[in-house]
Amino acid sequence: MAFVLAKVFWFVAEPGHLIFIAFAVAGVLWLLRWRRAAARLAAAAAGAYCAIVFLPLGTWLLLPLEGRFPPPSPPPARIDGVVVLGGSIEPRLSAGRNQTQLNESGERLLALVELARLYPDARLVFTGGSGRLIDPDLREADHAERLMERVGLARGRVIYERDSRDTAENASMTKALVQPRANETWLLVTSAWHMPRSVGAFRRAGWTVVPWPVDYASSGDDTWRIGPAGLEGMRRFTLATREWIGLIAYRAMGRTDALFPGP
């Protein structure tokens, strides 16, 4: 039930959807002749949209997330395993076109291939079922397995966890699957902006991991770059807002060890 409620809440609370809803409500109010209220609501929605598009609000929200866990330098000389979180594959498109379709987080899978070559003796795990309310049987892991074989990783080289629906389940189900020992070193691969919540979820599951962030959404030097960012500005703001809300929700539900997990 919590999974369903979270999906429904975010569908409504997504910034772009909220702005659209505000304009729609303003239109209804205008038709009902509540002209002043309609004008104020429309102005507020337009102001919010302009702020998101023209100001680097998304970047400001992303920078603390992406800077929380820097990549290990130098990389560990030896590791026991790698866990790569799902979120980089479009299962519905992949099933429809009969080939694996990646989204903007495809760097997660590129990192899996890179680490497989860098650490040939390490255990490799991809964790990702279906995070969708519609088409729950379309699972990322199935398409990830096909892609990994296409790029040259032998069958059996990667372990696939197919049942998790969110980050907390990634942590708990993967731990139950691979049963890591306390003295082992495991890398956790996910998007840099997603790393704080991911690390917190793994710690809550009793698994200490070494963060290996990829897929940065900000360059780090565009803090004060003001201008018409368009859809990219909305995408960054939406991405960051969702992650901050996720951190708060995970802490409230006891699914992470801290509100803003750190090194």
Evaluate whether the domain defined by 71-215 bears CATH number 3.30.70.270: no
Residues 6+ apart with CB under 8 A from 61: 236, 237, 240, 241, 244
Residues in the chain: 263
Taking 80 as the threshold, does the pLDDT of residue 104 lie above it? yes
CA separation for the pair 151, 149 (Å, rounded) = 5
Does 12 have pLDDT greater than 80? no
Task: List pLDDT tens digits, range 106-147.
Answer: 999 999 999 999 999 999 999 998 766 677 778 899 999 999
The pLDDT value recorded for residue 8 is 72
Round the average pLDDT of the chain to a whole number and report it: 89
Count of Cβ atoms closer than 10 Å to residue 261 Cβ: 23
Domain boundaries, the chain: 2-65+226-251, 71-215
Tell me the average pLDDT across 208-229: 78
The answer to whether the Cα torsion of 201, 167, 197, 208 is positive or negative is positive
Task: Retrieve residue 249's tokens.
Answer: 């929700």
Lowest mean pLDDT among 100-104, 179-183, 201-205: 100-104
Q: Which residues are within 8 A (CB) of 46 and not within 5 positions of it... i.e. 6 or more apart?
A: none
